[in-house]
Amino acid sequence: MTITPNHKVREYKDIIDQQLSTLFDDVTMNTRIKAAMSYSLTVGGKRVRPVLMMLTADAFGADVEKVRPVALALECVHTYSLIHDDLPAMDNDDYRRGKLTNHKQFDEATAILAGDALLTYSFQLISDATQLSAEEKVYALKRLSEVSGPLGMVGGQMYDLSYEQTDISLDQLEEVHDLKTGQLLIYALEMGAFLSHQPMEVIEAMKKAATAIGLTFQIQDDILDIIGDETALGKKVGSDVLNDKSTYPKLLGLDGAIKEKQKFVDETKKQLDFAGVLQTPLAQFIISLSERTV
């Protein structure tokens, strides 16, 4: 994924990378679980979710240091979901980002426990955050459990498994993506705004923007799987068609999918404008992601 020159994106990504690489340095725990958690946390990744949260706080003029523990917690939840998704009983992937998946690097039992541990630890990170009030912590913890649990991401993964090899409608496709990947993006923008003490209608606009962003990214993925450049993408294209996967191009045709994507890009801009953050590094980053070709 190309990231446009945006020094704040680089700065926040570096902070997250650095923090994740030292997250358990002073924590006494079983060395194997620590190694397995650290392995997946530091195997790489664009850190889109925590960077979005910090950019959102910055866009509203808040101290990004305040949201940092919540941003780290969100990346821990995202990482746990990848570890469990890769398991033999789920997607059965041996590699992710060119490195061995957790259960191949360690073993299956360790990967299950490392995922469990990262999920649990994310709640500890927020509970221990020094710059948040008790009320802010409770709301951040409550929303994290909602967006990542059976009402959110885990629910979406269950739908996704149920729908395999099944023809589904556009509404069902949107629900899967909204739950499976959209909810964590919502959390990123919502918490960035909430912890910056924005009024309810601004927080709602940011949540709507995040929903549109999630669907934009998904359609983009689907489109690139058809017209993307294999060399530039670094992965085979055409796998969705091969696997008869439900995608936007399959349901709407390629032109229809491109139009649908533009609809969500327009919606994103509208909501960011309403929230007063259209002329910010946050908006610049979001637009660059939705226009990526690799």
- The residues that touch a copy of itself, with contacts defined as CB under 8 A, are 27-30, 32-34, 37, 80, 84, 87, 89-90, 107-110, 112-113, 115-117, 119-121, 123-124, 127-128, 133-135, 137-138, 141-142, 144-146, 148-151, 154-155, 157-159, 161-162
Please report the sign of the dihedral spanned by the C-alpha atoms of residue 141, residue 76, residue 4, residue 216. negative
* Residue placing its CB nearer to a copy of itself in the complex, 159 or 274: 159
Spatial distance between the Cα atoms of 47 and 51, rounded to a whole number of angstroms:
6
* Residue placing its CB nearer to a copy of itself in the complex, 93 or 146: 146
Spatial distance between the Cα atoms of 130 and 236, rounded to a whole number of angstroms:
45
Q: Are 111 and 88 in contact (CB under 8 A)?
A: no
Spatial distance between the Cα atoms of 51 and 176, rounded to a whole number of angstroms:
24
In the complex, least distance from residue 205 CB atom to a copy of itself, rounded to whole angstroms? 24
Angle at 289 between CA 291 and CA 57, to 5 degrees: 140
Spatial distance between the Cα atoms of 151 and 88, rounded to a whole number of angstroms:
24
In the complex, least distance from residue 39 CB atom to a copy of itself, rounded to whole angstroms? 13
Q: Are 169 and 30 in contact (CB under 8 A)?
A: no
In the complex, least distance from residue 112 CB atom to a copy of itself, rounded to whole angstroms? 6
* Residue placing its CB nearer to a copy of itself in the complex, 122 or 280: 122
In the complex, least distance from residue 151 CB atom to a copy of itself, rounded to whole angstroms? 6
Q: Are 78 and 203 in contact (CB under 8 A)?
A: no
* Residue placing its CB nearer to a copy of itself in the complex, 135 or 255: 135
In the complex, least distance from residue 154 CB atom to a copy of itself, rounded to whole angstroms? 5
* Residue placing its CB nearer to a copy of itself in the complex, 174 or 225: 174
What is the number of other CB atoms lying within 10 angstroms of the CB of residue 236?
10
In the complex, least distance from residue 76 CB atom to a copy of itself, rounded to whole angstroms? 11
Spatial distance between the Cα atoms of 87 and 78, rounded to a whole number of angstroms:
15
* Residue placing its CB nearer to a copy of itself in the complex, 102 or 290: 102
Please report the sign of the dihedral spanned by the C-alpha atoms of residue 250, residue 256, residue 262, residue 263. negative
